[in-house]
Amino acid sequence: MQESIYDPGFAPFGGGSTASTIHPVVLGVVGLIAVLTFTLKRKYAIVPLLLGMLLIPYGQNWYIGGFHLYVSRLLIILAWIRVGISRLSSSQRLLPGGFTVLDKLFLVWACYRALATILLYGQVAAVTNQIGFLWDALGGYFLFRCLVEDEETILRVVKAFAVVAVIAAAGMIYEQLMGHNLFAFLGAVRLIPEIREGRVRSQAFFGHALLAGAFGATTFCLFLWLWKRGKTWFIPLIGLIASIVMAYFASTSTPIMALMGGIFVLCLWPIRAHMRALRWAMVTTLVGLHLVMKAPVWFLIGRIDLSGGSTGNHRAVLIDNFIRHFSDWWLVGTHENVNWGYDMWDQCNQYILEGENGGLIAFACFIAMFCVCYRWIGTARKAVEGDKEREWLFWILGAALFSQTMAFVGVDYFDQTKFVWYMLMVTVTTTTQFSRDAVALTPATPDLATAGRFCKPRERSMPNMASPWPMRFTL
């Protein structure tokens, strides 16, 4: 699997349809979403937008003059128009909280990756393809940054994820029972699901079973967060059940590992005060194994098979070749990976895809975004130390991020699941806002007990400062 080269892009560069694949039902849904986007209050507009972006198969598009206009990209345009209209009568910042370190990293990552691909291939089609990538990445991420202003909006977002998970889980169960995909009538997804080692790999309306399972696995902790943070139990409960169903019926090891990774972090809650020691112990263990094993330590993932028919060994070889061929990809990526060995074209690892598609700078920015998110969550948890309920909420959010970290080891996002990753980063930015504001207000000796009161959205003070972000992250 690849995102920007081998899979459909903005133009048929290295693949993609050469005709429109828009279904009349999808056309009607798009019209309804457009109406809701401009008629609902701004704080509710994110819900129909997300439902449309996630429920409609990513391959649904208009093919106009050699360009692919995907439904999600059209929805992004409509939403930006709505944001522009709203901002005409408002004096608030376009981005709540200002332009953060994470925003800067995301901007550099997206722009350099697009530039690297254009320089590497040197074709007009590569330019149009990367315009599509930037449309999705910058348009989607910064749209979410504009629309998600507080935790109440995040609650609506996670509820929308729950609706998507329930519909997807029902469709995946149907695939298991009937042997074909109910959503195939829309087009852009396969009718007969893939079968490996006798197990049906359900995918619903996602681009691949791996992506469907990854959505379920990475949203599990978000539904648990909704349960603890929200005022209702029914929606998060069915979301939790649906996420487990999705991870299981995808019949692949990666979603199960990601789900188990999130649960593992949740179980570390009793020893949260000793995480530094645990991290160093894990690093020491891996280094020790690397020294005593006959093969490099990353070949351990080749021994993991949680679903039957796992291709963990392929991913281990992929990592091995990625490291050995550093000189091939460090500047602007590479297209020589297809010659590295059998099936090395299949970039089923988001970290490797970032390096091979964008070079070392894009790879480093991608890793740095995770580091910033983890740091912000850790700072926010410490800011409310003593308030077990609020600490637990941040710990759950950290578990959701770790689940996403695990998922990227075995899958690269080339369909609508990329928007879930963007939204997770925006969620971290919004929920940790209070702690960064508190540190900015008292930079010398912050009173963490007092800062904890900023947790509650209705009591939180949002200071208007020229530079409210005291923390800096250097590569």
DSSP annotation of 61 reads: E
Q: What is the C-alpha separation between 356 and 333, in angstroms, rounded?
A: 4
Residue 342: burial class (beta carbons within 10 Å; 0-12, 13-18, 19+): exposed
**Residue 284 lies inside a defined structural domain of this protein:** no
Q: What is the C-alpha separation between 115 and 292, in angstroms, rounded?
A: 41
**Residue 90 lies inside a defined structural domain of this protein:** yes
Question: Tens digit of pLDDT for each residue in 56-112?
Answer: 999 888 888 767 889 999 999 999 999 998 887 777 778 888 999 999 999 999 999
Q: Count of CB atoms within 10 A of residue 299's CB?
A: 18
Q: What is the mean pLDDT of residues 182-187?
A: 90
**Residue 68 lies inside a defined structural domain of this protein:** yes
**Residue 468 lies inside a defined structural domain of this protein:** no
**Residue 470 lies inside a defined structural domain of this protein:** no
Rg of the chain in Å (alpha carbons) = 22
Report yes or no: 334 and 328 within 8 Å, Cβ to Cβ. Answer: yes
Range(s) of the domain holding residue 186? 24-274+347-455
Helix ranges, 347-469 (H):
350-383, 388-407, 417-431, 433-441, 448-451
Which 3 state secondary structure label does DSSP give 69? strand
The torsion angles phi and psi of 179, rounded to 5 degrees, stand at 85, 10
Question: Tens digit of pLDDT for each residue in 417-448?
Answer: 999 999 999 999 999 987 777 666 555 444 44
pLDDT at residue 441, as a whole number: 59
Query: Average pLDDT of the chain?
Result: 87
pLDDT at residue 353, as a whole number: 95
Q: Which has the higher per-residue pLDDT, 63 or 341?
A: 341
Percent of the chain with pLDDT over 70: 87
pLDDT at residue 396, as a whole number: 97
Distances (CA, A) of 416 to 67, 259, 329, 422, 458: 18, 19, 27, 11, 33
The answer, yes or no, to whether residue 199 has pLDDT greater than 70, is yes
Banded pLDDT at 17 (limits 50, 70, 90)? low
**Residue 299 lies inside a defined structural domain of this protein:** no
**Residue 317 lies inside a defined structural domain of this protein:** no
Positive or negative: CA dihedral 441, 149, 452, 279: negative
Q: What is the C-alpha separation between 44 and 50, in angstroms, rounded?
A: 11
Which 3 state secondary structure label does DSSP give 194? strand
Distances (CA, A) of 381 to 48, 182, 412, 421, 446: 32, 43, 30, 21, 14
Q: Which has the higher per-residue pLDDT, 300 or 76?
A: 76
Q: Which two tokens stand for residue 77?
A: 């345009």
Which residues are paired to 195 by β-bridges? Answer: 200
DSSP annotation of 196 reads: E
The answer, yes or no, to whether residue 143 has pLDDT greater than 90, is yes
Tally the domains of the chain. Answer: 1
DSSP annotation of 228 reads: H
**In whole angstroms, what separates CA 422 from the centre of its chain?**
5
Banded pLDDT at 18 (limits 50, 70, 90)? low
Q: What is the C-alpha separation between 377 and 428, in angstroms, rounded?
A: 7
Q: Which has the higher per-residue pLDDT, 219 or 440?
A: 219
Report yes or no: 11 and 64 within 8 Å, Cβ to Cβ. Answer: no
Report the relative pairing of strands 199-201 and 194-196 from DSSP bridges. antiparallel
**Residue 315 lies inside a defined structural domain of this protein:** no
Q: What is the C-alpha separation between 154 and 165, in angstroms, rounded?
A: 16
* Cα three-residue angle 306-310-314, rounded to 5 degrees: 135
Q: Which has the higher per-residue pLDDT, 474 or 288?
A: 288
Report yes or no: 215 and 168 within 8 Å, Cβ to Cβ. Answer: yes
Candidates 185, 182, 232, 190; CA nearest to 208 is: 190
